[in-house]
């Protein structure tokens, strides 16, 4: 804070110094009184007008700030600091174009005014003009190479452009010049986390906690990252500390709920999600997370209600960008109307919930069903579907309809309870020609077991729900067993690494769509799969299927049961502790031996 004397007496100079001391100490009222005493003697004193303007800005009186600082500029139109302050006051009022002009005038008055360059950069960043922002940050750094704030803002903008590595480097440069800049540690950690560097992110969040030990958000970020790293004790400790500092921190309650869900304490998780909802009744993420714990505990009434909050989540626009502008179906009879049903989420979800379509058709004139291309041959003749179309890439499909409904909202509409699940199987059938083709494609007369060892790598829980092919291989040594791979995608390449002469072949890459998969499954005696669409397909076909589940499964498998009320022909094999596939496969092997030879003494 600088001020020059403009024809002030010695007494007034002392008054100005005293006023500035009050100002710097935060004694705003005393400072204002002293500044006004000076103005009674010298009403055009530009520095005092500017300082009063800064007080108005600091107290959020932005309009008055602009008026006072403009008066200072009229008395001294060459002072760059006045233009910067006026730009700040105008920006605070969202007068962005006028603010830009002020910052540019500051640069005209003083070409090395690096503060003006960074202010311009920040304004351009806020307006989404990232390239222009970068240019101004670089100009500021040319003038002042040790300008930590410029490196920090440059890093933020680079990350906004997706240039994460460059952003990370510039956060580190900012910290080189300002090691106490906790914001840089925090944003560096955010960038590292987005790149999968959880360990490095944790180390940087710890620095934020060190520098700001009373900042609840620091503990929240640290705890949330520990949870992603599956270090749940540390996650819970830090999230609880965040809540001690900020008791109404709904996001911390939500993440604490996730941590307790991860360790298997479903009831406690539900409580924390409910805390979050009480604080923020419209917090879609907490409702959505609570729906899983309700459904895991077989509380369908509350579960379906919360499950419908999925479309209110911000991230859902990325997960599922379609937004329909017509009326949404509430289950009422619409005998003269066409109902548009669209799938959502994974392929397994579609195979599980398409069972509701016949009931839907009983309440409307016509049903159009939109789904993924790979499912259309399988569902072409599905009861209740009048027309099946490929999922549109546009917000609204090129079909005429009267009302629409998301597929996974049907359980709620039909008031599904545990005892009323429409579980009659089969409800999906293989094409006879495909059955015949795969019958001739398979060799041997052994007990044919189809296996799937991995799901979609993009799935958020894939590291827990998928296993490795090698864990299946000892089962191929059971006399009379023939393992047949149904695996597609990158995980299918694990079969290429097999060098042992075992009775195993992977046919997954030969499957063009799900009608091929169904035809192959119809020729098998048993399907063993991790939680994938193939498991749902086998269950929907009424085939014997064993599903291998992680310690905390997806909501549809509920907790502790070894059967599925959704699929009568299905058995569930669960991990007893996190990551324990060994005991799961021991049970599978024991059951397989009994299937092939009930007299086998090894069982």
pLDDT tens profile 200-214? 999 999 999 999 999
At residue 431, φ and ψ (nearest 5 deg) are -70, 135
* Tokens matching residue 294: 């309700």
Element (H or E) spanning 139, and its range? helix 130-143
For residue 98, pLDDT over 80 is answered with yes
Considering the chain, what is the average pLDDT of its residues? 91
- How is residue 389 annotated by DSSP? E
How far is CA 312 from each of CA 96, 319, 320, 461, rounded to the nearest angstrom?
32, 12, 11, 22
- Check if the beta carbon of residue 451 is closer than 8 Å to that of residue 530: no
Closest CA to 410 of 345, 329, 335: 329
Pairing of strands 334-342, 364-371: parallel
Q: What would the mean pLDDT of 147-158 be, rounded to a whole number? A: 96
CA contacts within 13 A on the Cβ side of 143: 16
- Lowest mean pLDDT segment, chosen from 13-17, 78-82, 137-141: 13-17
Q: Any idea which residue has 């009424």 for tokens? A: 542
What digits encode the pLDDT tens for the residues 386-433?
Answer: 999 998 776 666 678 999 999 999 999 999 999 999 999 999 999 999
Does residue 6 surpass a pLDDT of 60?
no
Task: Assess whether pLDDT exceeds 50 at residue 3.
Answer: no
The predicted pLDDT at position 314 comes to 83
Q: What is the DSSP string of 319-367?
A: H------SPBP-S--EEEEEEEEE--S-HHHHHHHGGGHHHHHTTEEEE
Residue 24 has φ and ψ, to the nearest 5°, of -65, -30
Start-to-end C-alpha separation, the chain: 84
Residue 405 parent element (H or E):
strand 403-406
Pairing of strands 387-390, 481-485: unpaired
pLDDT tens digits, residue range 491-540? 888 887 765 445 688 999 999 999 999 999 999 999 999 999 999 999 99
Residue from 502, 503, 506 nearest 492 by CA: 506
Give pLDDT, residue 433: 96
Among 32-41, 99-108, 349-358, 434-443, the least confident range = 32-41
Name, of 75-89, 99-113, 238-252, the range with top average pLDDT.
Answer: 238-252
Torsion of CA 53, 54, 58, 61, to 10 degrees: 10
Task: Tell me: pLDDT of 556 over 50.
Answer: yes
> Are 236 and 260 in contact, with CB atoms under 8 Å apart?
yes
Write the pLDDT tens digit of every residue in 424-472.
999 999 999 999 999 998 877 789 999 999 987 777 777 888 898 888 8
- Cis previous bond, 32, omega within 30: no
Give the rounded percent of residues in the chain with a pLDDT score beyond 70: 94
Residue with tokens 């009302």: 403
The mean pLDDT value for 370-390 works out to 95
- Looking at beta carbons, which pairs linking 323-326 to residues 24 or more positions away fall under 8 Å? 323/395, 323/396, 324/395, 324/396, 324/404, 325/396, 326/401, 326/402, 326/403, 326/404
Strand partners, 506: 485
Longest distance between any two alpha carbons in the chain, whole Å: 111
List, in order of start, the domains of the chain with CATH numbers: 214-316 (1.25.40.10), 334-420 (3.40.50), 432-596 (3.40.50.2000)
Beta-ladder partners of 574: 549
Which pLDDT band holds residue 594 (cuts at 50, 70, 90)? confident
Higher pLDDT, 593 or 173: 173
**Beta carbons of 411 and 356 less than 8 angstroms apart:** yes
pLDDT at 325 over 80: no
CA-to-CA distance for 196 and 229, rounded, in angstroms?
10
Q: How confident is the model at residue 2 (pLDDT cuts 50, 70, 90)?
A: very low
Reported as half-sphere exposure (CB side, CA atoms, 13 A), residue 501 has a value of 0
pLDDT of residue 1: 42
**Tokens representing 201?**
């992110």
């Amino acid at each position: 804070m600088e001020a020059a004397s403009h024809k002030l007496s010695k007494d007034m100079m002392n008054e100005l110094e005293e006023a500035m001391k009050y100002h710097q100490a935060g004694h705003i009222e005393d400072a204002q009184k002293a500044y006004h005493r000076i103005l009674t003697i010298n009403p055009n004193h530009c520095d005092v007008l500017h300082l009063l303007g800064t007080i108005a800005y600091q107290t959020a009186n932005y309009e008055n700030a602009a008026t006072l600082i403009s008066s200072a500029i009229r008395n001294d139109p060459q002072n760059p600091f006045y233009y910067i302050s006026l730009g700040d006051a105008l920006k605070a009022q969202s007068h962005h174009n006028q603010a830009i002009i002020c910052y540019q005038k500051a640069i005209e008055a003083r070409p090395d005014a690096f503060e003006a360059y960074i202010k311009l950069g920040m304004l351009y960043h806020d307006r989404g003009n990232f390239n222009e922002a970068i240019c101004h940050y670089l100009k500021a750094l040319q003038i002042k190479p040790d300008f930590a704030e410029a490196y920090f803002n440059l890093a933020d903008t680079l990350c906004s452009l997706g240039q994460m590595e460059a952003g990370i480097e510039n956060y580190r440069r900012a910290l080189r010049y300002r090691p106490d800049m906790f914001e840089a540690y925090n944003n560096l950690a955010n960038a590292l986390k987005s790149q999968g560097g959880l360990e490095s992110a944790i180390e940087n969040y710890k620095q934020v906690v060190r520098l700001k030990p009373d900042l609840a958000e620091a503990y929240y970020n640290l705890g949330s990252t520990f949870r992603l790293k599956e270090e749940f004790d540390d996650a819970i400790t830090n999230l609880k500390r965040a809540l001690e500092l900020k008791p109404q921190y709904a996001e911390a309650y939500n993440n604490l709920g996730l941590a307790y869900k991860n360790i298997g304490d479903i009831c406690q998780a539900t409580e924390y999600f409910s805390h979050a909802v009480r604080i923020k009744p419209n917090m879609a993420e907490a409702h959505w997370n609570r729906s899983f714990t309700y459904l895991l505990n077989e509380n369908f009434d509350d579960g379906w209600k919360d499950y419908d909050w999925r479309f209110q989540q911000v991230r859902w626009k990325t997960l599922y960008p379609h937004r329909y502008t017509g009326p949404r179906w509430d289950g009422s009879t619409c005998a003269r109307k066409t109902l548009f049903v669209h799938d959502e989420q994974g392929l397994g979800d579609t195979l599980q919930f398409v069972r509701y379509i016949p009931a839907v058709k009983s309440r409307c004139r016509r049903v159009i069903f939109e789904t993924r291309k790979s499912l259309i041959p399988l569902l072409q003749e599905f009861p209740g579907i009048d027309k099946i179309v490929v999922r549109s890439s546009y917000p609204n499909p090129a079909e005429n309809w009267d009302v629409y409904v998301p597929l996974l909202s049907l359980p709620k509409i039909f008031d599904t309870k545990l005892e009323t699940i429409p579980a009659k199987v089969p409800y999906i059938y293989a094409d006879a020609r495909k059955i015949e083709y795969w019958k001739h494609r398979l060799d041997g007369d052994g007990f044919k077991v189809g296996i799937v060892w991995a799901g979609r790598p993009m799935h958020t829980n894939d590291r827990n729900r998928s296993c490795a092919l090698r864990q299946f291989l000892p089962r191929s040594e059971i006399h009379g067993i023939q393992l047949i791979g149904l695996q597609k995608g990158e995980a299918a390449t694990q079969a290429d690494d097999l060098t042992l002469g075992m009775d195993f072949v992977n046919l997954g890459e030969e499957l063009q769509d799900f009608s091929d998969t169904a035809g192959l499954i119809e020729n098998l005696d048993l399907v063993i799969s991790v939680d994938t669409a193939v498991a749902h397909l086998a269950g929907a076909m009424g085939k014997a299927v064993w599903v291998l589940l992680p310690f905390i499964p997806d909501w549809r498998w509920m907790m502790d049961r070894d059967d599925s009320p959704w699929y009568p022909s299905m058995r569930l094999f669960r991990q007893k502790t996190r990551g324990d596939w060994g005991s799961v496969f021991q049970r599978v092997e024991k059951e397989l031996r009994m299937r092939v030879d009930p007299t086998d003494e090894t069982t």
